[in-house]
Amino acid sequence: MNVAAHPTLPDTPAELKEIIGSLVQENERYAEKNEHYVQENELLREQIRLLYATLYGKKSEKIAVGGDHPQLPLFDMPEPAELEPEPESVEVPAHSRKKRGRKPLPDHVPRVEIIHDIDEADKQCGCGCRLKRCGEDVCEKLDIIPAVIQVIRHIRPKYACPSCEGLDTEGAVVKIAPPAKQIIPKGIATAGLLAHVLTAKFCDALPFYRQEQQFRRLGVEIGRATMGNWAFTAAAACRPVIDLLQQEIRSGPLITMDETTVQVLDEPGRSATTKSYMWVCRGGLPDKPGIIYRYAPSRSSTVAESLVGDYTGVVQTDGYIGYDFLDTQPGIIHGGCLVHVRRKFRDAQKARGKAAQQTGSSDVALNYIRTLYRIEKEMKHPDLSFDEAVKIRHEKARPILTEFHAWLLKKTTQVVPKSLVGKAVSYALNQWDRVLVYLDHGFMTPDNNQTENAIRPFVLGRKNWLFAGTPEGAQASADLFSLIETAKANGLEPYAYLHYLFEKLPFASSKAEYRALLPMNLTPGDIVSGDVVTGV
């Protein structure tokens, strides 16, 4: 084609230069816009990969060393020397290995012996001598006795005077013992049955309608509405113990907090699909922890303020904005959660997908955090004091955190702010002062995992029973969860504790007697008694 003869092109050089200049500017604008579209497209792809990883990938947050990303990047921030120390030569002493096989059955389980002997005729040797027993072969099998329902008849004999019969006398003519005190005075449920029903729901996540079916198979009709009324009545009777438990939580050096959603159907002024919340606090003395659940219709910071009350000490939370008031609360030190920092980088790692072979920024951050937890694992010794823990953390963990912080600051200029890595870096820096709090307090851990573990049974139960009927029912559930989870945290078997509590609670009247029923004031030996076994 003859360009010079093209009818749309001018003949003068000045006009041609002007056209070329406008084309160059238009191309630059297109390149900028295209780069924006490419970046936006990549962010959307990143979110899709994270969604797929969340739905179909591994749920564990443990980081496998030597997995898909076995090493750190060559051209990214280098790993500090402390993260991977030089291998040391150590001598491994000789040792004996346990034989692989089935674990022995617990010694505390009762044994029933069945003798399988040979016939008497076979106990005679061919030489005519009587065989002598020289040993035995024992094989243990595990058996179970299904639940047995029984009726306990409370019989109160009546007494009357035959000589005064038909005469006008003052006072009662017939004498009878007062009714036995029960947790539900006019109900048919004993402490044992009530403990069984509540443990099944709030510990084993078995809804009342499934328990109704189980009881029907055992030959007894107990409706789900009846069991719900029992739970509500039991929670109301336990209110003095719950109030004391709240005080116990504020008596220690540390409170950890978290919250999760719950759906309440019949809530005044709100639709059945509106989200409500279950708040959880863990506190008290380090060796005698307490856990309290609190239902609230909202996620407002006022709920957290009411739970904290006049407490002074360390409060450890995640990065939810509703906890920001703790930063300015007099007498409170606000600690952060390193696991939530790790979780952000873990999401960024998942979103890269399996196709990304080269390790990236998220792997570097996770390696820093992995090293911090390796230090915590080395410190798990029963004789290690809180002061010694603080000393070790300052010697080993603080240098790692210092390098990690410098790496985070550098990354702010190298990553896209809206990307998952960018969000993870921003979250870590925003929470940094809170994360460092654990260094100075030996009774703390770097994360809020203990409270998350306490809230997990509620989340598991929510998947089975889905919702609460009323706000009063939700709070009754919260109170019963509080007692069960506190019992578990103090090494008590939940059914045994509830059985003991429901047996003793009707006889308690003073604050000291109620306090004695708190799980942290009991031992397993205290609740394994004749009262619990017989139900009398």
- Tens of pLDDT, residue by residue over 433-442, are 999 999 999 9
Q: Is the pLDDT of residue 11 over 60?
A: yes
pTM of the model: 0.78
User: Which of 162-176, 178-192, 333-347 has the weakest average pLDDT?
Assistant: 162-176
List the domain range (segments joined by +) for residue 440.
339-447
What DSSP string runs through 297-347?
Answer: SS--HHHHHHHHTT--EEEE--S-GGGGGGGGSTTEEEE--HHHHHHHHHH
Res. 284 pLDDT band, cuts 50 70 90:
very high
Length of the chain: 536
Look at residue 11 and give its three-state secondary structure: coil
pLDDT at 84: 44
Is the residue at 429 inside a domain?
yes
Look at residue 98 and give its three-state secondary structure: coil
Is the residue at 470 inside a domain?
no
Per-residue pLDDT of 440-449, as tens digits, reads 999 999 999 8
CA 300 – CA 470 distance, rounded (Å): 20
Is the residue at 111 inside a domain?
no
CA Rg value for the chain: 34
Res. 397 pLDDT band, cuts 50 70 90:
very high
Is the residue at 426 inside a domain?
yes
Is the residue at 101 inside a domain?
no
State how far the alpha carbon of 448 is from the alpha carbons of 112, 305, 429, 442, in Å: 46, 18, 18, 15
Determine the Cα angle at 78 with ends 73 and 84, to 5°: 95
Per-residue pLDDT of 50-64, as tens digits, reads 676 666 666 566 655
What DSSP string runs through 345-364?
Answer: HHHHHHHH-TT--S--HHHH
Is the residue at 67 inside a domain?
no
Quote the mean pLDDT of the chain.
Answer: 83
pLDDT at 79: 43
Q: Give 277's DSSP letter.
A: E
Q: Where are the beta strands (DSSP E) in 177-328?
A: 254-263, 275-285, 288-296, 313-316
Is the residue at 123 inside a domain?
no
Percent of the chain whose predicted confidence (pLDDT) is above 90: 46
Look at residue 216 and give its three-state secondary structure: helix
Q: Per the structure, how many domains does the chain have?
A: 1
Percent of the chain whose predicted confidence (pLDDT) is above 70: 80
Is the residue at 353 inside a domain?
yes
Res. 82 pLDDT band, cuts 50 70 90:
very low
